[in-house]
Amino acid sequence: MSDKIQRVALITGASGGIGRASAERLAADGFSVVVHYAGGKDRAEQAAQAVRDAGGRAVVAAGDVADEDAMAEVFDLAEREFGGIDVLVHAAGVMPTAPIAETPLDTFDHIQRVNVRGTFVVDQLAARRLRAGGAIINLSSSLTRLQTPTYGAYAASKGAVEAMTLILARELRGRDITVNAVAPGPTATPLFFAGKSQETIDRLASLTPMGRLGEPADAAEVIAFLAGPGRWMNGQVLYVNGGAA
C-alpha cells in the first residue's frame, strides 16, 4: 500500500489493554498508527515496536487527554508524520472503584476529568481534523447497563461518553465520518485486574454464557470493523461482552 493511500489511526491509551490490541489489529489491516499514552512510556514504546516488528508503521505520542493543548500537539504530530488522520480510537480512561457513599469527591472529579472531559477534548479535535471516510470510535463500558455496585462514578462517566458519541454522529452529517462507541464487558486488562481478588475476577468471568473474561483482542476485532468495513454502522453503542448479564 502506498503512502498516499495508507490510512492513519490515532489510538489514545494505546500502551496496554484494549488500546494496544487495537493498535496491533489496525496495523495488521494496513493502518499507520499513532500510539498515544499519558503514563507508561516504556509500554507505549513496546507497543509501537510490536507494530514495526510486524511490518507496520508507528510513532509514539504523549499527552493528557483532558488537556486540549497537549492533545492538539498529538494530532499535529500524527499529521506531520503520516499526512493526516482517518480513525480515532479513544481508549484512554481511568476506573477507580468504590461505593457511591464512600467515593471521595476528588476521586469522582478525577474520573470525570479523564473520562468525560478527555473524551470531549479528543472527539472535538477529531471532529475538526479527521479526513472524509473516517471513523471516531469511543470506548464506553457495559457497566452502563450492568449496574454493578462500586462502579457508580465510572459508569456515570461512560454514560456521558455514550451521550456524546450519539450526538456527535448526528452533528457530523455530511462529513462522511462515522461515530460509534464500543462498550466492553469484563475484559482481561491491567485496568480490570487492578485491586480485584481472584474470587471477584472469577465471579465476573462467570457473568458471560461463555464463562470467561473478554480478551482485548475481542474488543479490537469490533473496533477494526468500525474502522474499516462497518461504514453503515453509525451513532451506535456496541456491547462487546460475550452476553454478560
Check pLDDT > 60 for residue 2.
Answer: no
Q: What is the pLDDT of residue 1?
A: 41
State how far the Cα of 47 lies from the Cα of 36, in Å rounded to an integer.
10
Report strand pairing: 8-12 vs 87-90.
Answer: parallel
Q: What is the pLDDT of residue 125?
A: 98
Q: What is the pLDDT of residue 71?
A: 98
In whole numbers, what is the pLDDT of the chain averaged over residues? 95
Residue of 201 and 111 predicted with greater confidence: 111
Question: Over pLDDT 70: what percentage of the chain?
Answer: 98
Q: How confident is the model over 62-79, as a mean pLDDT?
A: 98
Q: Which candidate, 84, 83, 72, 86, places its Cα nearest to that of 36?
A: 72
Q: How confident is the model over 63-76, as a mean pLDDT?
A: 98
Instruction: State the pTM of this model.
Output: 0.94
Catalogue the active-site residues.
154
Q: What is the CATH number of domain 8-237?
A: 3.40.50.720
Phi, psi of 233 (to 5 degrees): -95, 110
- C-alpha cell, 8: 492513519
Question: Over pLDDT 90: what percentage of the chain?
Answer: 84
**HSE of 57, CA atoms in CB hemisphere, 13 A:** 15
pLDDT band at 4 (very low <50, low <70, confident <90, very high): low
pLDDT tens digits, 16-37: 899 999 999 999 999 999 999 9
Q: How far is CA 235 from CA 177, 215, 218, 231, in A?
A: 10, 25, 21, 11
pLDDT tens digits, 176-231: 999 999 999 988 888 788 878 898 888 888 888 988 998 999 999 999 999 999 99
Q: What is the pLDDT of residue 194?
A: 82
- C-alpha cell, 61: 505520542
Q: What is the pLDDT of residue 3?
A: 46
Three-state SS letters, 112-173? HHHHHHHHHHHHHHHHHHCCCCCEEEEECCCHHHHCCCCCHHHHHHHHHHHHHHHHHHHHCC
